[in-house]
Structure 1
Amino acid sequence: MLHSQGHDNASVQAGRRGKGIVGRVIAVLAGVCLAAAGAVLLMFGGELKTLGTIEKIDEYPLYTMDYAADYGLDEFLEQGGASNDAELIDFVVGRLLKGLPIKIELPNLACSTFNAKTPEGEALFGRNFDLEFSPGMMVRTTPKDGYASISMVNLAFIGYGEDKLPDDFASSIVSLAAPFAPLDGVNEKGLAVGVLLIDTEATHQQTERVDITTTTAIRLMLDRCATVDEAVELLSSYDMHASGNRCYHFQIADASGKSVVVEYIDNEMRLVEPSEEGYQAATNFLLTPGEYDFGGGQDRYETVMGVLDASDGVMTEAEAMDTLQSVSREVKIKDNGEVFQTQWSVVYNLDRASATVCMGGKYDELHEITVARQ
């Protein structure tokens, strides 16, 4: 009887020791999990926060995203930049997407831009983006050592489409590449820029300067330039390599009302200055005088310049949007079945660092977005 009772006590004590060991193991595992979770948050906290800010504000669709992570622009330049899309993709995949594959493409895009001023003297920059279906995203960036900005990204350029949109966590991860794919935008200092396609030989400058591509040039200007002069100086300090093996020109404007069109002819940068009144426009042909002034979009150019000439370059934001609507592209079904039209129209107010956006030709449905968070 005493032997049995002693045996029972030993069993109880052994059981308690076993439970204690299990408890300690669970505690250790919990600590490891918490440490791992902390490490993940430390490594990817900015990225996770960024993805959590994505919001669909238009069903066309148009999304907004506040980029809270470091997208590594300094690191991109320090490692030599990129002389083609493949090199840019390699950097984006390794630095931002942690190995997740991506494809960045700039197809044939037909666009229009112009600058003007309001009756109150505020500087405006108008932009139409014409292409096949292009889900848009206005990306707000706030680099530590640069200017805050908002920029429009065609999500189709980084792999999205009608069957794949950033509507959940898994599908939104690729949107972390967006800072390296802007097409137009404005920064907190009032510098605005838009890129337009030219149907001629691709630009590939070959000197000892750091290499940049079309969209990384826009990223650099928005992050680092406050004026047109600073943007021109910046572009002249890098070797330009046109994305998609095509040719482009940029219209750049600032809050002072200054504007310029930057073109590349025979791999040499050329500047096209505005009229004496300070306004100008650009579409899809070269504006540099001489044998170079060929391409497309002359009809749109003449329409916009006619409006600017008639008003001496003065118009309200609503009139600027009306001007964009007057040269917007109507829906056209291409031979391959794709629908071509104006994907977005944006009027940037450079004094207020704001954008009024229309998606898919819905000019009665406008969205106002500012560089400063509201």
Structure 2
Amino acid sequence: MRRDTLLSSRLSGVVVAVLFLLAVLPVAQPARACTAFLQADLIAGKNYDWNLDQGLILVNKKGIAKRALLLNPAEKAAEWVSKYGSVSFNQYGREMPNGGMNEAGLVVETLMLPCTQNPGEDDRPAVTAWVQYQLDNSGTIDDVVASDKTIRISQGMPMPIHFFVADAQGQAAVVEFIEGKMVCHTGEQLPHKLITNDTCDQSLAYLAQHSGFGGSQEIRKSSRGSLDRFVIAADRLKAFQPDGSRQAAIEYAFDTLAAVRQGKATKWSIVHDVKNLEIHYKTERCDKIRTVRLKDLDFSPKTPVRMVSINTPHTGVLTPFFMDYDADLNSWLIYYCVKHTPMLSQIPDMLLEVLARYPETTFPK
């Protein structure tokens, strides 16, 4: 029996219980806030504000055949072969990234949005790991927007989130699922290239009330509410004056992330240098910069998947410290993080085993 068939069979035995849990678990949770933006000079920033800081940085290969893992086996699963290699930050297991950047310079990041309502079932095949699908298949914002015609995000997605996307052409998009429809803000609909944890429309309307953006209210720089973080970050993006220095631009992005950080709840601060295909990040445990250079990595499907702990003790360029993928470590990460996430902690162990074994269903094409 094929591994994907076996996993689907095991998954069907727990799907009813899982879907019930997802229906009754509260959406509102404490300390769940993030900020993402694209500043001039192709520098994207993201604060990951959460209660957990464990995670892996994974090298995802191109030329890999995949079939989406869905909570509801009755849904039609999307199938694809990855077109691009990528680097992702994963807290809930391999193939289920929080965010990342691919070799085309596409950045995709997730942020909580409580009012999210994903599409209902229709003729399109579904994915749960929407971020990995986009990193695998999309090179530009246009590709991401066009994908809504061919795939949909599953209703079984266990967290209410929206997405911030940036590409190597300097375009940005906020992708939300509102009342079952994709709502994409880009171009003139996204005059300020950032998002926090309210809808794009709500955030832009609040911004317009403030001095420098058409209103008279002073910016509340000490506030850490979602809407005020949006205003603080927008003000810094507006003030940024690029001088051609990549180092200065990266430092400015980190300073912007510091201006909206949530104290100890900010676990990772990530800066994507899209132009140079480099990812720089700091953690709550260590404020020294670590760097991942995509150009140093092998995205060929013929070599093993590589990984490094987000909290590696090493700093600077991390290329020498990547190791071959460890399935046991991936399994531990899934169990630990799910059991310590309030809105997920009641998910049955059998499903966690399915998630841990899901990478075994992918193969070079």
TM-score range relative to shorter protein: 0.5 to 0.7
Deviations 1:341-373 (A, max 9, x none): 10101000112221001011643x110002232
Instruction: Identify unmatched segments of 5+ residues in structure 1.
Output: 1-71, 90-105, 158-176, 332-340
Question: Which residue is equivalent to 2:179?
Answer: 266
The separation in 2 between residues aligned to 1:276 and 1:288, in whole angstroms, is 9
2:47 to 123, 128, 136: 128
| Structure 2: gaps (5+ residues) | 19-26, 64-81, 207-224, 298-318, 320-365
Shift in alpha-carbon separation, 1:107–1:359, aligned structure 2, 3 A:
farther
Task: Give 1:359's aligned residue.
Answer: 283
Would you say 1:281 and 2:197 are equivalent positions?
Answer: no
State the structure with more CA Rg. 1
The alignment yields a C-alpha RMSD, in angstroms, of: 3.4
87, 91, 94: which is aligned to 1:178?
A: 94
Does 1:146 find its partner at 2:75? Answer: no
Select the residue among 137, 150, 153 that pairs with 1:224. 137
8 Å contact from structure 2 (residues 105, 275) kept in 1: yes
Instruction: Select 1:238's aligned residue among 117, 140, 151.
Output: 151
Equivalent residue in structure 2 for 1:300, among 221, 229, 241: 229
Q: Which amino acid aligns with 1:178?
A: R
SS for the counterpart of 2:94 is helix
- C-alpha separation in 2, matches of 1:277 and 1:184: 20
- Correspondence for 2:56: 137
Shift of 1:178: 1.1
Pairing 1:170-209 to 2, within 5 Å after superposition: 177-179=93-95, 181-209=96-124
Q: Measure the CA separation in 2 of the matches of 1:194 and 1:284.
A: 12
SS at match of 1:125: strand
Tell whether the 8 Å contact from 1:236 to 1:269 is kept in structure 2 after alignment. Answer: no
Q: Secondary structure at the match of 1:226?
A: coil
Query: CA 1:330 to 1:290, structure 2 compared with 1: closer, same or farther past 3 Å?
Result: closer
Retained in 2: the 8 A contact 1:191–1:254? Answer: yes
Q: When the two structures are superposed, what TM-score results if normalisation uses the length of structure 2?
A: 0.58
What percent identity do the matched residue pairs reach? 22
Q: Which residue of 2 aligns with 1:54?
A: none
Task: Give the structure with the larger helix fraction.
Answer: 1
Taking a change above 3 Å as real, the CA distance of residues 316 and 112 of structure 1, as seen in their structure-2 partners, is: same
- Cα distance in 1, alignment partners of residues 145 and 278 from structure 2: 22
Question: Shift of the alpha carbon at 1:266?
Answer: 0.6
CA distance in 2 between partners of 1:136 and 1:318 (Å): 24
Distance in 1, matches of 2:177 and 2:132, equals: 18
SS in 1 for 2:262: coil
| Aligned match of 1:252 | 165
Question: What is residue 112 of structure 1 aligned with on the other side?
Answer: 35
Contact 1:228 1:258 survives alignment (8 Å): yes
CA contact (8 A) 1:184 1:193 kept: yes
Q: What is the aligned partner in structure 2 of residue 18 from structure 1?
A: none
Distance 1:283 1:240 in 2: 20
Cα separation, 2, equivalents of 1:254 and 1:136: 24
Higher deviation after alignment, 274-283 or 299-308: 274-283
Name the aligned partner's letter for residue 129 of structure 1.
Y
| Corresponding residue number in structure 2 for 1:369 | 292
Distance 2:232 2:204 in 1: 23
- Mapped to 2, the partners of 1:325 and 1:243 lie a distance apart of 34
Q: 1:134 to 1:242 in 2, by over 3 A?
A: farther
Question: 1:322 & 1:256 partners in 2: Cα distance?
Answer: 24
Change in Cα spacing, 1:211 to 1:313, as seen in structure 2 (3 Å) is: farther
Contact 2:40–2:240 under 8 Å retained in 1: no
Q: Does the 8 Å contact 1:270/1:288 carry over to 2?
A: no
Residues 41-60 of structure 1 aligned to structure 2 (within 5 Å): none
**Are 1:209 and 1:239, in contact at CA under 8 Å, matched by a contact in 2?**
yes
Output the amino acid matched with 2:105.
G
Give the Cα–Cα distance (whole angstroms) in 1 for the partners of residues 201 and 123 of structure 2. Answer: 26
Q: 1:319 aligns with which of 241, 252, 257?
A: 252
Given the superposition, is the C-alpha separation of residues 219 and 211 from structure 1 closer, same or farther in structure 2, using an over 3 Å criterion? same
Cα 1:299/1:112, change in 2 over 3 Å: same
Q: 1:153 is matched by which residue type in structure 2? A: N
Larger RCO: 1 or 2 (CA < 8 Å, sep 6+):
2
1:157-180 CA-to-partner distances (Å, cap 9, x unmatched) read 3xxxxxxxxxxxxxxxxxxx412x
Letter matched to residue 228 of structure 2: D
- In the alignment, residue 302 of structure 1 is paired with which amino acid? V
Contact preservation (8 Å) 2:242, 2:249: no
Aligned twin of 1:51: none
Residues 277 and 361 of structure 1: CA distance in aligned 2, closer, same or farther (over 3 Å): farther
Assess, with a 3 A threshold, how the Cα gap between structure 1 residues 192 and 86 changes in structure 2: closer, same or farther: farther
CA contact (8 A) 2:120 2:155 kept: no
1:236 Cα deviation (Å)?
3.8
Tell whether the 8 Å contact from 1:114 to 1:127 is kept in structure 2 after alignment.
Answer: yes
Tell me by how many angstroms 1:287 deviates: 0.9
